[in-house]
């Protein structure tokens, strides 16, 4: 496989004015007839004419009507062309039925669908498959399926055919086609300028009852983008299609978003609150791409964060506005630390804008998405809300219709604010999580905070320069009152001191409020004020953070020094749980302990090799201590979570149910699952049913509940994914591998379905102590299945191989066992470039 470098970018030799595509659909022999109007690009540095094409069989090709015989290679075609505008035509044959990689045109449960990002269009026909070639597409679909969809607006249709025209120039990665026996859940939306837009969610017959929530989320997203960013929808129709076999969550194809059915279908009986929230966020994310991604796209794939970071940032703002901003912030930071910091800390670390890659599909990472969004949050904090809004207006005005770069994005902010963002740009260029160390001093009414920043080396980047860090700080008096409301300190140097004067006494600092920069904050040199901050901080993020760091430190000392749970921590936690002035959703987050993987990282950072069984035991022990400390309060608190209204996945109800579930979890440790069984038996929605079932699985009273759950839901594939995931995820460390083995033999297991594969093998990798069994059986099982899957679906295989990325944390025996499995994967004949790149990077 070949490495591609950002520094090698050259403009396309030819541009495309229009594309006409005709699809004659047939499962193993679909014909695609293309007619593409090319013209030489005046900015090009070469006149070489090359069209990407993979796994497409060329039937014939013509230039300006005359048949030609291009030089065909496995990655495309080359030929001589006029040095003037010309029309290229071709007919090719492809086989959607046998396309198990789920890239290009493929079939899922008898339905045709496409996935073209990043480089899937080249599996449909010969084309300059790069994002800086934007063109207007007209598509004719001929097929027996009742529903035939493509991008843009419908222009004509008849028996067995339909035509679509998309007036907005787009790169090939946004092309989409769907054909199948589908039913629509229709609605409409009137845009801010009074235009009526037809909306549809297309699903397989039987799923119609699961579309209403997604449709409401879509309309809320359309309205929000108008209200907050002034962005109006630009076609007559917006279609969403649910597909069962899909590599990721969803895809923002122009006017025809395609969704993994798990990310759009929802009903109270079959979906948890978490599913509803995720669906709402993903629908918003894909819709927001219409402006940040589609109208303004990326010049090349190195600029991926331009659309993904910004769109994640926008969907987080949307969720914060619709639900609770502090709860959203805490869950985003949890996610960032669990996925992105993990990536930054290991062999897969890369900059938000990478400078090289082998397989672009391997770069749809937490760094590009989540750290990319954090960078935008910092930029907004530094320039202020008004300047951010002005800069965004300028971005849309200046770059509409373009395929552009991070440089163009930052220039818009420089032009709006007059700031020099050259140092800030390091956030895009430098990999790794900065470590921010703080100490304090107080003298004669002046309080000083002294910060030092350091970013550890990452692969290919041994030396790091200081970053611009917006550090939000507030000061509290000993009685908990605010003496200094939140201010943003702008750190630019490696070491910097900030002073607060005219204070009556030494304050208590609350540092990095709202998690204002994606750094690891080391407060070891400060007095330990965490119990105070857990009780008094007015910044919800830092209040939660105080509890989390206390819990994490306690767990680490339980693992490494045999410490026992600390009473002052337990008391402080119980006080938070009992504080009815706090949002129940916040209290649930405060009661949740760091996951085993976080504890393992924290143990590793003390210089010790994490022992997965000891971590599991410490967490269980602390859970029991919390349960005991909470026991007197449980009846009152659980009663306060009762809801006397019909199920709704709104913030209020979700908060109560999630707090109630956390309490039930603790209660189960004391009553052996009695209350959980009662909730399971009477549950009328999936959240109540699933959370109580999880409690039952954990206290190993699973026999009856498990079979009931499967028997009740075996007809519903999305619920059965939960069943697979939960049984493996909740299995005790010594049973997880055996459970996963048994479930891969279950008739409902399907290696070809990414959702089911992730539910099974992803759950094994997520069961920390189970996966890291000392005998290596977890590693072997995952490697076996990755090898099997690679021949079927390289993209999902490569993504899931990241489960091994933390391997250097563990003891020498485990490292040896993992390395052997990684070597075995690499030695597999015909291993895909995707998996070869990922496993190679993990090993080095
Ligand atoms: N822009 C999309 C990213 C994507 C993708 C989606 C589905 C299947 C394969 C894919 N490869 C890349 C999704 C998004 O970020 O919105
Ligand atoms: Zn996206």
- Which ligand number lies closest to the CA of residue 373? 2
Residue 790 contacts residue 752 (beta carbons within 8 Å):
no
Measured from the alpha carbon of residue 253, the closest ligand is: 1
pLDDT tens-digit series, residues 749-767: 999 999 999 999 999 999 9
The predicted-structure confidence for 239-296, as pLDDT tens digits, reads as follows 999 999 999 999 999 999 999 999 999 999 999 999 999 999 999 999 999 999 999 9
What atom in ligand 1 is closest to the CA of residue 286?
A: 16
Element holding 604 (H helix, E strand): helix 596-605
Distance CA 694, CA 716 (A): 18
- The residue whose C-alpha atom lies closest to atom 13 belonging to ligand 1 is 251
**pLDDT above 90 (res 420):** yes
For the Cβ of 310 lying below 6 angstroms from any atom of ligand 1, the answer is: no
Question: How far does residue 250's CA lie from ligand 1's centre (Å)?
Answer: 6
Residue 286 annotated to the active site: yes
User: What phi, psi does 328 have (nearest 5°)?
Assistant: -65, -40
Is the beta carbon of 166 within 6 A of some atom in ligand 1? no
> Which residues, other chains included, contact 207 with Cβ-Cβ below 8 Å and sequence gap of 6+?
183, 242, 261, 265
In this structure, the dihedral spanned by the alpha carbons of residues 323, 326, 332 and 333, taken in order and rounded to 10 degrees, is -170
**Residue of the nearest CA to atom 7 in ligand 1?**
248
Q: Is 639 exposed, middle or buried (0-12, 13-18, 19+ CB in 10 A)?
A: exposed
CA 290 to ligand 2 center in whole angstroms: 10
Domain boundaries, the chain: 4-263, 297-429, 435-525, 736-844
Orientation of helix 372-383 relative to helix 304-322, angle to 10°: 70
Taking Cα atoms as reference points, which of 47, 60, 36 lies closest to residue 133? 36
Query: What DSSP state is assigned to residue 432?
Result: S
Considering only CA atoms, give the Rg of the chain: 27
pTM over 0.90: yes
Cα of 4 vs centre of ligand 1, distance in Å, is 20
Q: Is the CB of 119 under 6 A from ligand 1?
A: no
Block residue for tokens 């055996």 = 738
Q: Is the CB of 286 under 6 A from ligand 1?
A: yes
Nearest protein Cα to ligand 1, atom 15: 308
Q: Above 80 in pLDDT, residue 707? A: no
Task: Using DSSP, state whether 547 is helix, strand or coil.
Answer: helix
Q: How far apart are CA 183 and CA 737, in angstroms?
A: 40
pLDDT band at 704 (very low <50, low <70, confident <90, very high): low
**CB contact set of 178 (below 8 Å; sequence gap of 6+):** 111, 112, 113, 114, 147, 148, 149, 150, 202, 241, 243, 256, 258
The whole-number average pLDDT for the span 652-669 is 98
Residue 246 alpha carbon, nearest atom of ligand 1: 8
| Residue-averaged pLDDT of the chain | 98
Ligand 2 centroid from CA 103, angstroms: 17
Residue 239 host element (H or E): strand 237-243
248 lines ligand 1 (CB under 6 A): yes
Where do we find the tokens 């563990």?
810
174: Cβ contacts below 8 Å, ≥ 6 apart? 116, 117, 151, 252, 253, 254, 294, 297
Phi, psi torsion values for 464, nearest 5 degrees: -120, 145
Tokens of 259: 């969704």
Q: What is the pLDDT of residues 506-543, one digit of tens each?
A: 999 999 999 999 999 999 999 999 999 999 999 999 99
- The answer to whether 679 touches 673, Cβ cutoff 8 Å, is no
Average the pLDDT over 442-463 and give the result. Answer: 98
**Domain at 4-263, CATH homologous superfamily:** tricorn interacting facor f3 domain (2.60.40.1730)
The fraction of the chain above a pLDDT of 90, given in percent, is 98
Is 117 a pocket residue for ligand 1 (Cβ < 6 Å)? yes
Residue 661 Cα to ligand 1 midpoint, Å, equals: 32
Atom nearest to 103 CA in ligand 1: 9
CATH of domain 297-429: 1.10.390.10
Alpha carbon separation from 40 to 16, 64, 121, 161, 170 (Å, rounded): 9, 15, 22, 34, 18
Give 760's DSSP letter.
Answer: I
The string of pLDDT tens digits covering residues 500-516 is 999 999 999 999 999 99
* Sequence-ordered alpha helix ranges (H) in 607-646: 612-630, 634-640
- DSSP per-residue string spanning 160-194: TEEEEEEEEEE-GGG--EEEES-EEEEEEEE-TTS
pLDDT of residue 708: 85
The residue to mutate among 120, 123, 178, 250, having the most atoms of ligand 1 within 8 angstroms of its beta carbon, is: 250
| Ligand approaching nearest to the C-alpha of 314 | 2
pLDDT band at 222 (very low <50, low <70, confident <90, very high): very high
- Domains 4-263 and 435-525 belong to one CATH topology: yes
- What token pair was written down for 441? 């001093």
The two tokens of residue 813 are: 């025996």
CA of 253 to the centre of ligand 1 (A): 10
Mapping DSSP to helix (H, G, I), strand (E, B) and coil, where does residue 169 land?
A: strand
Mutate to test the pocket of ligand 1, among 289, 364, 366 (most ligand atoms within 8 A of CB): 364
Pocket mutation for ligand 1, best pick of 172, 248, 363 (most atoms within 8 Å of C-beta): 248
Q: Is the beta carbon of 304 within 6 A of some atom in ligand 1? A: no
- Residue 618's nearest CA partner among 569, 679, 545, 564 is 564
| Dihedrals phi, psi of 159, to nearest 5 degrees | -70, 115
Domain 435-525 in CATH: superfamily? Aminopeptidase N, middle-beta domain (2.60.40.1840)
Ligand 1 mean position to 200 CA, how many Å? 21
Q: How many residues does the chain have?
A: 844
247 lines ligand 1 (CB under 6 A): yes
Report the atom number in ligand 1 closest to the C-alpha of 293. Answer: 1
Ligand 1: atom nearest CA of 289 is: 16
Compute CA distances 809 → 435, 611, 818, whole Å.
19, 10, 11
Q: Which atom of ligand 1 is nearest to the CA of 282?
A: 16
Q: 81-135: per-residue pLDDT in tens?
A: 999 999 999 999 999 999 999 999 999 999 999 999 999 999 999 999 999 999 9
Q: Ligand 1 within 6 A of 307 CB?
A: no
| Ligand 1 pocket member 364 (CB < 6 A) | yes
Q: What percent of the chain has pLDDT over 70?
A: 99
Q: Counting atoms of ligand 1 from 1, which one is nearest the CA of 361?
A: 11
Query: Ligand 1, from 101, 221, 251: best to mutate by most atoms within 8 Å of Cβ?
Result: 251
Residue nearest to atom 2 of ligand 1 (CA): 251
Ligand closest to Cα of 248 equals: 1
Assess whether the C-beta atom of 308 lies below 6 angstroms from ligand 1: yes
C-alpha of residue 291 to centroid of ligand 1, in Å? 16
Confirm or reject: Cβ of 115 under 6 Å from ligand 1: yes
Q: Which ligand is nearest to the CA of 315?
A: 2
Check if 252 has its Cβ closer than 6 Å to any atom of ligand 1: yes
Task: Tell how far the Cα of 521 is from the centroid of ligand 2, in angstroms.
Answer: 29
The closest of 500, 524, 503, 522 to 512, measured between CA atoms, is: 522
Whole-angstrom distance, CA of residue 745 vs CA of residue 245: 20
Task: Name the active-site residue from 89, 280, 286, 359.
Answer: 286
Ligand 1, atom 11, residue with closest C-alpha: 117
* CA nearest to 284, candidates 341, 227, 337, 364: 227
Cα of 495 from ligand 2 centre, angstroms: 36
- Asked whether residue 810 carries a pLDDT value surpassing 70, the answer given is yes
- Of 108, 116, 117, the residue with max ligand 1 atoms within 8 A of its CB, to mutate for a pocket test, comes to 117
Dmax of the chain from CA atoms?
89
Indicate the burial class of 711 (C-beta count within 10 angstroms; 0-12, 13-18, 19 or more): exposed
Alpha-carbon separation of residue 694 from 622, 662, 715 (angstroms): 19, 11, 20
How remote is the CA of residue 320 from the centroid of ligand 2, in Å?
Answer: 18
Q: Which residues contact 169 (CB under 8 A, 6 or more apart)?
A: 134, 135, 136, 401
639/819 Cα distance (integer angstroms): 51
pLDDT of 580-619, one tens digit each? Answer: 999 999 999 999 999 999 999 999 999 999 999 999 999 9
- 96-113 per-residue burial string, b: 16 or more CB within 10 A, e: under 16: bbebbbbbbbbbbeebbb
Stretch 493-499: mean pLDDT: 98
Given this model, what pLDDT does residue 578 score?
Answer: 98
Q: Which residues pair with 430 in a beta bridge?
A: none
**With a 6 A CB cut-off, is 251 part of the ligand 1 pocket?**
yes
Q: How far apart are CA 289 and CA 359, in angstroms?
A: 23
Which residues make Cβ contacts (< 8 Å) with residue 583, sequence separation at least 6?
324, 326, 327, 655
- 314 Cβ below 6 A of ligand 1: no
User: If pLDDT is split at 50, 70 and 90, which confidence band does 311 have?
Assistant: very high
Ligand 1 atom nearest the C-alpha of 247 is 8
600 DSSP assignment: H
Residue 233 near residue 153, CB atoms below 8 Å: no
Q: Residue 563 has which token pair?
A: 């410490």
Quote the CA–CA distance of 237 and 586 in Å, as a whole number: 39
Predicted pLDDT at 700: 76
Ligand minimally distant from the alpha carbon of residue 250: 1
Residues 691-706 have a mean pLDDT of 82
CA 813 to ligand 2 center in whole angstroms: 39
């Amino acid at each position: 496989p070949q490495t591609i470098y950002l520094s090698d970018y050259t403009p396309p030799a030819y541009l495309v004015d229009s594309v006409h595509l005709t699809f004659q659909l047939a499962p193993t022999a679909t014909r695609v007839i293309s007619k593409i109007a090319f013209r030489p690009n005046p900015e090009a540095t070469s006149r070489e004419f090359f069209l990407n094409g993979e796994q497409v069989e060329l039937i014939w090709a013509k230039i300006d009507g005359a048949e030609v015989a291009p030089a065909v290679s496995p990655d495309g075609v080359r030929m001589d062309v006029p040095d003037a505008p010309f029309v290229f035509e071709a007919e090719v044959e492809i086989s959607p039925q046998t396309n198990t990689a789920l890239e290009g045109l493929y079939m899922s449960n008898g339905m045709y669908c496409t996935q073209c990002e990043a480089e899937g269009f080249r599996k449909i026909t010969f084309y300059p498959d790069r994002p800086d070639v934007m063109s207007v597409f007209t598509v004719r679909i001929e097929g027996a399926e009742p529903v035939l969809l493509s991008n843009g607006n419908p222009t004509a249709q008849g028996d067995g055919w339909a035509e679509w025209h998309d007036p907005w120039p787009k790169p090939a990665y946004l092309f989409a086609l769907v054909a199948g026996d589908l039913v629509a859940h229709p609605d409409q939306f009137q845009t801010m300028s009074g235009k009526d837009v037809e909306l549809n969610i297309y699903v397989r017959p039987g799923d119609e009852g699961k579309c209403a929530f997604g449709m409401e989320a879509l309309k809320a997203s359309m309205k929000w983008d108008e209200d907050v960013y002034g962005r109006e929808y630009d076609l007559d129709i917006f279609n969403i299609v649910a597909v069962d076999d899909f590599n990721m969550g969803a895809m923002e194809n122009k006017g025809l978003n395609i969704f993994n059915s798990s990310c759009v279908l929802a009903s109270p009986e079959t979906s948890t609150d978490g599913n509803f929230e995720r669906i709402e966020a993903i629908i918003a994310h894909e819709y927001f791409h219409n402006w940040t991604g589609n109208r303004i796209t990326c010049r090349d794939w190195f600029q991926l964060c331009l659309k993904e970071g910004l769109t994640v940032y926008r969907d987080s703002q949307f969720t914060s506005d619709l639900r609770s901003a502090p709860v959203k912030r805490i869950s985003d930071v949890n996610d960032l630390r669990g996925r992105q910091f993990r990536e930054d800390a290991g062999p897969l670390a890369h900059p938000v804008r990478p400078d090289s890659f082998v397989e672009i599909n391997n770069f749809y990472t937490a760094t590009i998405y989540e750290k990319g969004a954090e960078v935008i949050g910092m930029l907004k904090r530094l320039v202020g809300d008004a300047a951010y809004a002005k800069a965004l207006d300028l971005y849309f005005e200046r770059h509409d219709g373009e395929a552009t770069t991070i440089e163009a994005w930052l220039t818009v902010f420089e032009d709006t604010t007059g700031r020099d963002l050259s140092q800030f740009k390091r956030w895009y260029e430098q990999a790794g999580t900065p470590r921010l160390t703080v100490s304090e001093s107080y003298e004669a009414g002046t309080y000083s905070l002294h910060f030092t920043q350091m970013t550890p080396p990452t692969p290919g980047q041994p030396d790091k320069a200081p970053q611009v860090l917006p550090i939000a700080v507030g000061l509290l008096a000993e009685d908990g009152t605010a003496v200094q409301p939140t201010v943003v300190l702008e750190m630019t140097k490696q070491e910097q001191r900030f002073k607060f004067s005219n204070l009556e006494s030494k304050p208590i600092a609350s540092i990095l409020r709202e998690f204002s920069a994606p750094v690891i904050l080391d407060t070891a040199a400060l007095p330990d004020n965490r119990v105070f901050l857990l009780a008094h901080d007015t910044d919800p993020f830092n209040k939660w953070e105080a509890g989390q760091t206390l819990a994490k430190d306690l767990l680490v000392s339980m693992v490494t020094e045999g410490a026992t749970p600390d009473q002052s921590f337990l008391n402080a936690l119980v006080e938070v749980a009992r504080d009815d002035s706090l949002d129940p959703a916040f209290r649930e987050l405060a009661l949740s302990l760091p996951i085993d993987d976080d504890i393992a990282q924290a143990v590793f950072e003390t210089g010790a090799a994490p022992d997965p069984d000891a971590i599991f035991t410490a967490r269980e022990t602390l859970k029991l201590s919390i349960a005991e400390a909470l026991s007197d309060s449980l009846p009152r608190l659980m009663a306060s979570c009762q809801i006397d209204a019909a199920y709704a996945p709104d913030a209020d109800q979700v908060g109560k149910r999630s707090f109630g579930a956390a309490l039930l979890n603790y209660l189960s440790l004391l009553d052996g699952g009695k209350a959980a069984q009662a909730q399971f038996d009477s549950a009328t929605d999936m959240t109540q049913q699933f959370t109580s079932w999880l409690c039952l699985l954990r206290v190993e009273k699973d026999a009856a509940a498990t079979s009931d759950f499967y028997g009740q839901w075996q007809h519903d594939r999305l619920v059965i994914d939960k069943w697979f995931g939960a049984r493996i995820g909740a299995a005790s460390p010594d049973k997880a591998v055996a459970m996963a083995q048994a479930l891969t033999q279950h008739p409902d297991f399907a290696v070809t379905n990414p959702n089911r594969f992730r539910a099974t093998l992803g759950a094994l990798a997520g069961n920390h102590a189970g996966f890291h069994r000392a005998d290596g059986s977890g590693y072997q099982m995952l490697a076996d299945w990755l090898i099997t899957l690679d021949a079927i679906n390289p993209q999902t295989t490569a993504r899931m191989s990241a489960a091994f990325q933390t391997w250097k944390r563990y003891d020498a025996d485990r490292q040896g066992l993992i390395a052997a499995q990684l070597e075995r994967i690499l030695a597999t004949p015909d291993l895909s470039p995707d998996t070869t790149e990922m496993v190679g990077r993990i090993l080095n």
